[in-house]
Every structure is written in structure tokens, then in C-alpha cells.
């Protein structure tokens, strides 16, 4: 460790969304979620609990806002003067958007959340000191803080459920922040296998837990750099560009008929998740 | 000391400390880094299995006069295909030793067969025990150094594990701290244009791309001799997740 190294590394760590000299290559993990296909069944959230060792906190702590669901289904009501307002329920799966210029990264006092080379927003539990600044700065409110030392303080994995804990994922301790990782343990395993074979990860070789469990295939996940991937095709078809804070299609008069959009794009966070807007009855 | 001198003095001390620190290239391996000597159920002689053959007469394969030069990966077989190197199952020991009657009555072998007859696994203790939040990947390092670059197995394993072939039961030889890992990953390693398979060495070989996973393209960085260099992966999420 020398001063030069320190400064070099700092500049690298703080390198933000892709620019011409350093494009994402060969990986940029991204997602697209078709809200028209989403039926709000919560299977993705359950799968996330199982895959990522999330504690089941119970009703009381949920009401205190101490729930740890990395993947949550947000529910909105679009009543539209319906006869039965319940028909107007709309669902939106919300998880860490893995922003390219993430507001959480710049404010972490200890550099516990960084950008990885394959376009993920990493969260390093053993480095985190629990300042919660990242959560305060996150526009999507998808970061969750461990207020308790599970499972010692609370029986969050009742008998035998402890056997289903995923050994590839750390069980987080008290006082650290956590969030959706795009199932990084699976990504890394696939990347290492591919690297050993001298190729890149093929489309369909790696799935996130939420994608795997979605009964309607609303979630697709893959490598945005790979033109063969489903995610790439969807982003392309919807004319959503990762490196833009306002899409060309939205600039034209009257907007666009395309369904693809990213949440709070104008905050210039450059999120990696594209949503496909629900097709409304009124539009059909 | 005068009050107005205090700050400049402190500053001078700080600068000196920084300069001295910058001069050291790599964390030193001290006696403290060796870790405790761990008592194993059987004092397994690594030197006998993996050690060099008789140095005086290399053609002499008499095990009493030297090691057997068994490949580390014969027993630690998971190293090349998973995160962990693995401890061989008892079957592996017996698989050879049931055919070696000459050492059958040696105390350690007698002990070994006691476990075998009792159908019990040997409760080996972990020597290189990383914290639970660290997931070091053996496979990746074996693939790179042994398979891609063709370096000798014992040398490659020795980067982290020391000269195990001279030990009985293994003892930690390197600090195995994050700073120590990084001291290698931070170096500018020379990118050899091609290895035996025509694959560029310094990152990973995907098409024309001679870097992978690193921020720095080798083309942007050259050492004094004008050779391309690249650093190892610099990504927290490779080990901590």
C-alpha cells in the first residue's frame, strides 16, 4: 500500500456509470419486469427470503418498519371509476435498482457500498458500520437495516428452517445495512465457471431467485452487453438506454406508446431495472 | 515544546510515517502470522506424502529416505473445481494404505485404521480458517496459475499455504488477511501476450480482450520496460457476499 496506490484505487472505486473509455464489458447485469404479467402473487419475495437468508420478523416488527424484504410488492390502486374498485389493484415489484450512479454509494462514510465492474451496487456487510446514510439517500427506499442480531434475539428461522439457510450468503449481524444483490452469489458462481472455460456467461445460464420463481415470467434478467440476451432485446425494443437520464422516445411530442420506463429516471441514478408499464383497460 | 511548534512537528511525524509506510511493498510475514499450532487427531506427515524425493539420490523412491511427491490435488481434489480445497475422505487414505503393508504397523497408520474399522471420519481441525464472511475461491486460482500458466502445483499452493511439503500437520505460514491478499491483487502483473495455448495472461482471455474484471485495460498501463501490465480483480463482492 502506497499513497499512489491509495489515490489510484480511490479513483477507481468512485468510478460511476459507464462512459466511453470504460464501458461495461463483458458484463452488465440488468433486469426488466413486465408489470402487465405481474399478478402480485409474492412468489418472488418468498424466493428472495429463501435464497438470501432474510429473517422473518413477524407482524409487530413489520409495523415498526423493521421488515427485511429485499424484494417487496408495492400495491397501488387505480380505480378508474370501476364498479368494483378492487379490480384496480396494480402491483410493482420493488428491489434495489442497482443504479449506475447510485446515491447510496457516494455517501457511505466507509466505502461499504461500491460499484462493481459488472454493474452491480455492492454491499459489503463486514465493512458497514451502520451509519444508515445510504438508506437515507436512497430514492427507492430499498435498503434495510438490521436492528436486531438475528437469529439470537428472535426466532426468525424456527426449528428446521435453519437447515434451509443458504451457505453461500452471509447471515447478517446487527447494525449492518443490507439490500437486494441481484443474487450475486449465483452470478459469481456462473462467472467463475465461465471464466474457467474461457467464455462469458451464456444467456439463461444464471437466474435470480425472483426470476426463477415467477409463475408468469414477468421478470427477466441477464447481461445487457450480450445482444443475444432477452434483457438486451427488451431494453432495445423499448428504446430504453442505460446511460440516459431522459429517453429519446419520451422527448417526442405526446410521449411514446412503448411501455418501457425506469423509476425516477430523472434523478440521474441510471437504474438497471426497466419496468414495462401495465396495459390499462382504457388504453385497449 | 512551544505550542506553535506542535502542529508542524506532528505534521512532520505524519509525513515521515507515510513515507516509511509507502516504502514497504508487502505486509511482512512475522512469527505472529503463523497462527496457533493446531493439534490434529493424527499428526499427518505432509512431508512424507508431498515432500521431495531423496535429495541425495532423486531416483530413490524409498519413502523412508524422502517424500513421495504426491500432487496436492490428489487428496485436496476439490480445489480445482470449487471454492474450498477440501479434506480427503478416509476412504482416500485407506485406498492407498491398504496396499502398503510395509507401514501398516506404524503408530499413525494403526490409528488411521482404528477410525476405518470404527467407520468414523477423522475429526481434522481447520488450519486456514477464514471468517464466515470471506469466500475465497480456490478454483479460480488453480485455473489461472496451474492450468493456464502451467506453473508447478506445489509452488502455486505455496503462495498462500507455504512449504506444506516440509511440514507434518499444516500450520498457517502466511497472514491470510485481506491486506495480504490485496498486496498481490494490487500489483501490476506483466501481461504475457500469450501462454502455451495462445491465451493472453494478465486478465482473462475472452476474444481480443486482454483484461477482464479489472478497471484497467492493460493497454493503458505499461511498466518501465514498456510491457503491458494489469492488476488482479478489485471487487469486494468476489469474496464478501
> What is d(CA B232, CA B213) in angstroms, rounded to the nearest whole number?
8
Chain B residues with CB inside 8 Å of A114's CB?
Answer: 236
Mean pLDDT of chain A: 88
> In this predicted structure, what is the pLDDT of residue A13?
54
Taking the CA of residue A46 and the nearest CA in chain B, the distance in Å comes to: 20
> In this predicted structure, what is the pLDDT of residue A49?
94
Mean pLDDT: which of A15-19, B205-209, B229-233 is highest?
Answer: B229-233
> In this predicted structure, what is the pLDDT of residue A175?
94
Residue B137 pLDDT exceeds 50:
yes
Residue B62 pLDDT exceeds 90:
no
Lowest mean per-residue pLDDT among A1-5, A96-100, B156-160, B191-195:
B191-195
> What is d(CA A37, CA A57) in angstroms, rounded to the nearest whole number?
29
Taking the CA of residue B240 and the nearest CA in chain A, the distance in Å comes to: 6
Q: Is B22 on the interface with A (CB under 8 A)?
A: yes
DSSP secondary structure of A128-146: -----HHHHH-TT--EEE-
Lowest mean per-residue pLDDT among A1-5, A62-66, A235-239, A269-273:
A1-5
> In this predicted structure, what is the pLDDT of residue B168?
86
Residue A282 pLDDT exceeds 90:
no
CB contact under 8 A, B215 and A22: yes
> In this predicted structure, what is the pLDDT of residue B24?
46
- For residue range A262-276, list pLDDT tens digits in order: 999 999 898 999 999
> In this predicted structure, what is the pLDDT of residue B188?
76
Lowest mean per-residue pLDDT among A57-71, A88-102, A155-169, B218-232:
B218-232
At residue B207, φ and ψ (nearest 5 deg) are: 60, -130
SS3 sequence of chain B: CCHHHHHHHHHHHHHHHHHHHHHCCCCCCCHHHHCCCCCCCCCCCHHHHHCCCCCCCCCCCCHHHCCCCCCHHHHCCCCCCCCCCCCCCHHHHHHHHCCCHHHCCCHHHHHHHHHHHCCCCCCCCCCCCCCCCCCCCHHHHHHHHHHHCCCCHHHHHHHHHCCHHHCCCCCCCCCCCHHHHHHHHCCCEECCCCCCCCCCCCCCCECCECCCCCCCCHHHCECCCCCEEECCCCCHHHCCC
Residue B210 pLDDT exceeds 50:
no
Q: Is B111 on the interface with A (CB under 8 A)?
A: no
What would the mean pLDDT of A24-40 be, rounded to a whole number? 90
Residue B213 pLDDT exceeds 60:
no
> What is d(CA A277, CA A259) in angstroms, rounded to the nearest whole number?
5
Sign of CA dihedral B16, B19, B22, B27: negative
User: Could you give the number of structural domains in chain A?
Assistant: 1
Residue A113 pLDDT exceeds 80:
yes
CB contact under 8 A, A196 and B18: no
> What is d(CA B72, CA A8) in angstroms, rounded to the nearest whole number?
37
What would the mean pLDDT of A29-58 be, rounded to a whole number? 94
Taking the CA of residue A2 and the nearest CA in chain B, the distance in Å comes to: 4
Residue A82 pLDDT exceeds 50:
yes
Residue A4 pLDDT exceeds 80:
no
- Total residues found in chain A within this entry: 284
What would the mean pLDDT of A174-180 be, rounded to a whole number? 95
Chain A residues contacting B, CB < 8 Å? 1-5, 9, 12, 15, 22, 25-26, 114, 116-118, 120, 122, 124-127, 168-170, 181, 184-185, 188, 192, 195-196, 198-200
Residue B205 pLDDT exceeds 50:
no
- The residues, any chain, with a CB within 8 Å of residue A48's CB and separated by 6 or more, are A54, A69, A70, A71, A95, A180, A209, A210
Lowest mean per-residue pLDDT among A163-177, B96-110, B182-196:
B182-196
Is there a contact between B150 and B195 (Cβ–Cβ < 8 Å)?
A: yes
> What is d(CA B216, CA B205) in angstroms, rounded to the nearest whole number?
15
Q: Which of residues 192-231 of B touch A (CB under 8 A)?
A: 199, 204-206, 209, 212-216
Residue B1 pLDDT exceeds 80:
no
Q: Is B132 on the interface with A (CB under 8 A)?
A: yes
> In this predicted structure, what is the pLDDT of residue B219?
52
- The residues, any chain, with a CB within 8 Å of residue A159's CB and separated by 6 or more, are none
What would the mean pLDDT of A64-72 be, rounded to a whole number? 94
| CB-closest option in B133, B183, B234 to A125 | B133
| Residue B117: other Cβ atoms inside 10 A | 8
What would the mean pLDDT of B130-154 be, rounded to a whole number? 87
Q: What is the DSSP letter of A19?
A: B
Lowest mean per-residue pLDDT among A9-23, A189-203, B36-50, B97-111:
A9-23
Percent of chain A scoring above 70 in pLDDT: 92
> What is d(CA A18, CA A57) in angstroms, rounded to the nearest whole number?
38
What would the mean pLDDT of A254-260 be, rounded to a whole number? 88
What would the mean pLDDT of A225-237 be, rounded to a whole number? 94
E strand or H helix at A104: helix A103-107
pLDDT bracket for residue A219 (50, 70, 90):
very high
pLDDT bracket for residue B14 (50, 70, 90):
low
What would the mean pLDDT of A215-239 be, rounded to a whole number? 95
The residue with greater pLDDT, A120 or B33, is A120
What would the mean pLDDT of B37-62 be, rounded to a whole number? 80
The residue with greater pLDDT, B68 or B190, is B68
CB contact under 8 A, B140 and A192: yes
Q: Which domain holds residue A7?
A: 3-283
Sign of CA dihedral B61, B66, B71, B76: positive
Residue B233 pLDDT exceeds 90:
no
Q: What is the CATH number of the domain that holds A185?
A: 3.30.70.20
Residue B201 pLDDT exceeds 80:
no
pLDDT bracket for residue B204 (50, 70, 90):
very low
The residue with greater pLDDT, A47 or B183, is A47
Q: A with B: how many residue pairs have Cβ under 8 Å apart? A: 79
The residue with greater pLDDT, A155 or B57, is A155
Amino acid at each position: 500500500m502506497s499513497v499512489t496506490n491509495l489515490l489510484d484505487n480511490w479513483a477507481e472505486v468512485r468510478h460511476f456509470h459507464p462512459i466511453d473509455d470504460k464501458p461495461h464489458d463483458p458484463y452488465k447485469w440488468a433486469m426488466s419486469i413486465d408489470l402487465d404479467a405481474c399478478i402480485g402473487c409474492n412468489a418472488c419475495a418468498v424466493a428472495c427470503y429463501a435464497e438470501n437468508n432474510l429473517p422473518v420478523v413477524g407482524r409487530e416488527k413489520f409495523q415498526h418498519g423493521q421488515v427485511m424484504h429485499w424484494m417487496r410488492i408495492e400495491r397501488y390502486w387505480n380505480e378508474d371509476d370501476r364498479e368494483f374498485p378492487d379490480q384496480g389493484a396494480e402491483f410493482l415489484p420493488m428491489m434495489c435498482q442497482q443504479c449506475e450512479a447510485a446515491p447510496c454509494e457516494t455517501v457511505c462514510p466507509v466505502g461499504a457500498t461500491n460499484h462493481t465492474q459488472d454493474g452491480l451496487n455492492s454491499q459489503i456487510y463486514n465493512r458497514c458500520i451502520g451509519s444508515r446514510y445510504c438508506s437515507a439517500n436512497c430514492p427507492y427506499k430499498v435498503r434495510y437495516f438490521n436492528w436486531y442480531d438475528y437469529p439470537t434475539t428472535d426466532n426468525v428461522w424456527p426449528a428446521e428452517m435453519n437447515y434451509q439457510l443458504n451457505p453461500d450468503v452471509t447471515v447478517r449481524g446487527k447494525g449492518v445495512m443490507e439490500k437486494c444483490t441481484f443474487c450475486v452469489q449465483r452470478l459469481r458462481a456462473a462467472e467463475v465457471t465461465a471464466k474457467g472455460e474461457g467464455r462469458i456467461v451464456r444467456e439463461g445460464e444464471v437466474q435470480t431467485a425472483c426470476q426463477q420463481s415467477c409463475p408468469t415470467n414477468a421478470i427477466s434478467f441477464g447481461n445487457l452487453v450480450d445482444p443475444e440476451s432477452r434483457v438486451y432485446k427488451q431494453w432495445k425494443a423499448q428504446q430504453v438506454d442505460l446511460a440516459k437520464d431522459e429517453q429519446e422516445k419520451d422527448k417526442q411530442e405526446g410521449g411514446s406508446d412503448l411501455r418501457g420506463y425506469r423509476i425516477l429516471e430523472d434523478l440521474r441514478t441510471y437504474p438497471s431495472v426497466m419496468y414495462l408499464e401495465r396495459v390499462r383497460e382504457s388504453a385497449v | 515544546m512551544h505550542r506553535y511548534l506542535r502542529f508542524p512537528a506532528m505534521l512532520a511525524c505524519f509525513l515521515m510515517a507515510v513515507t516509511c509506510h509507502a516504502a514497504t511493498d508487502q505486509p511482512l510475514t512475522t512469527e505472529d502470522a503463523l497462527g496457533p499450532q493446531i493439534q490434529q487427531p493424527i499428526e499427518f506427515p505432509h512431508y512424507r506424502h508431498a515432500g521431495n524425493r531423496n535429495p541425495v539420490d532423486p531416483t530413490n523412491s524409498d519413502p523412508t529416505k524422502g517424500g513421495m511427491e504426491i500432487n496436492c490435488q490428489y487428496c485436496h481434489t476439490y480445489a480445482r473445481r470449487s471454492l474450498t480445497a477440501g479434506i480427503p475422505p478416509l476412504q482416500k487414505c485407506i485406498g492407498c494404505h491398504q496396499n502398503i503393508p510395509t507401514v501398516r504397523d506404524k503408530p499413525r497408520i494403526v490409528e488411521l485404521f482404528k477410525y476405518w474399522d470404527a467407520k468414523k471420519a477423522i475429526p481434522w481441525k481447520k488450519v486456514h480458517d477464514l471468517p464466515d464472511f470471506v469466500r475465497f475461491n480456490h478454483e479460480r486460482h488453480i485455473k489461472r496459475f496451474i492450468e493456464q500458466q502451467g506453473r508447478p502445483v506445489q509452488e502455486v499452493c505455496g503462495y498462500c499455504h507455504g512449504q506444506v511439503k516440509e511440514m507434518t500437520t499444516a500450520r498457517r505460514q502466511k497472514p491470510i488477511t485481506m491486506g495480504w491478499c490485496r498486496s498481490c491483487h494490487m500489483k501490476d502483473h506483466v501481461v504475457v501476450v500469450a501462454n502455451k495455448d495462445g491465451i493472453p495472461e494478465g486478465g482473462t482471455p475472452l476474444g481480443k480482450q486482454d483484461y477482464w474484471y479489472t478497471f484497467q485495460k492493460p493497454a493503458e498501463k505499461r511498466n518501465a520496460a514498456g510491457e503491458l501490465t494489469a492488476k488482479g480483480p478489485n471487487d469486494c463482492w468476489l469474496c464478501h457476499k
